[in-house]
Amino acid sequence: MADNLPAQPDRPDGSRLPSAEHARSDNDPQPRAGWLGENLPASIGGFGVTWATMFRKVYTEEYPEVKRPTAPRYHGRHQLNRHPDGLEKCIGCELCAWACPADAILVEGANNDDTPKDEGGTGRFSPGERFGHVYQINYLRCIFCGLCIEACPTRALTMTNFYELADNNRADLIFTKEQLLAPLQEGMLAAPHPMVEGMDERDYYLGRITSATDEQRDWALAQQAAEAEAAARAAAEAEPERNMISEGGGAL
């Protein structure tokens, strides 16, 4: 085959160019070892793993009866945190929703309202101006990346180690604010209620609040009493109407 190649011309200085035959020999594929030669070492290695595994002790995870603890920083279900007096840390800013790459979070903010309830006020849920009125996380979409908790400016949103988030329907995997809110700890009072007297939102974020005060508790008790009284009044007003309906044979 080399005999058929054209002869290479000499260089002007008299030296000879490498022949086409020589140039090609550098690029020639290596001689093949055959199918067996190529695959036998890998097959032996594979069977070696199989044999070694056959004689190992079988390890069975007894889930769900036995639950192994996760790594401390495992990304599990989210939690909406509270201040030590029970007010919510979420200010409804929606930054978590904007940061989420899976569009799994829905937030609707609303204004806190210090007007008393009997004058039409809706209450205060967080220190400052706004609070998270609607908050939902769709666990069918969430990929547990943690970008939302990085984006949260108040550390309202964090992730727990809880990982049992399977279900047999879609609706139950959309968690609402009530499901995500951290449970009340000792010294906390469920929102809505006023801020600690003489403190502003900066004091909350500087950690100057340690628990709900007596004034806040009195306020909550007064609210409960007013609500109970209003409910009793409404029931008393409805009673004559019910009597009239029953006397008239229920016909309306």
Q: Tell me which residues touch ligand SF4 (CB under 6 A).
A: 90-96, 99-100, 102, 104-105, 107, 132, 137, 142-148, 151-152, 154, 156-157
Query: Least CB distance from residue 202 to ligand SF4, whole Å?
Result: 16
> Which of 173, 148, 166 lies closest to 158, judged by CA?
148
* 93 or 199: CB nearest ligand SF4: 93
> How many CB atoms lie under 10 A from the CB of residue 12?
6
* 104 or 220: CB nearest ligand SF4: 104
* 156 or 181: CB nearest ligand SF4: 156
* 97 or 212: CB nearest ligand SF4: 97
* 87 or 96: CB nearest ligand SF4: 96
Query: Least CB distance from residue 103 to ligand SF4, whole Å?
Result: 8
**The residue to which tokens 């002007």 are assigned:** 12
Query: Least CB distance from residue 98 to ligand SF4, whole Å?
Result: 8
**d(C-alpha 114, C-alpha 191), whole Å:** 12
Radius of gyration of the chain (CA): 36
Query: Least CB distance from residue 135 to ligand SF4, whole Å?
Result: 7
Query: Least CB distance from residue 110 to ligand SF4, whole Å?
Result: 12
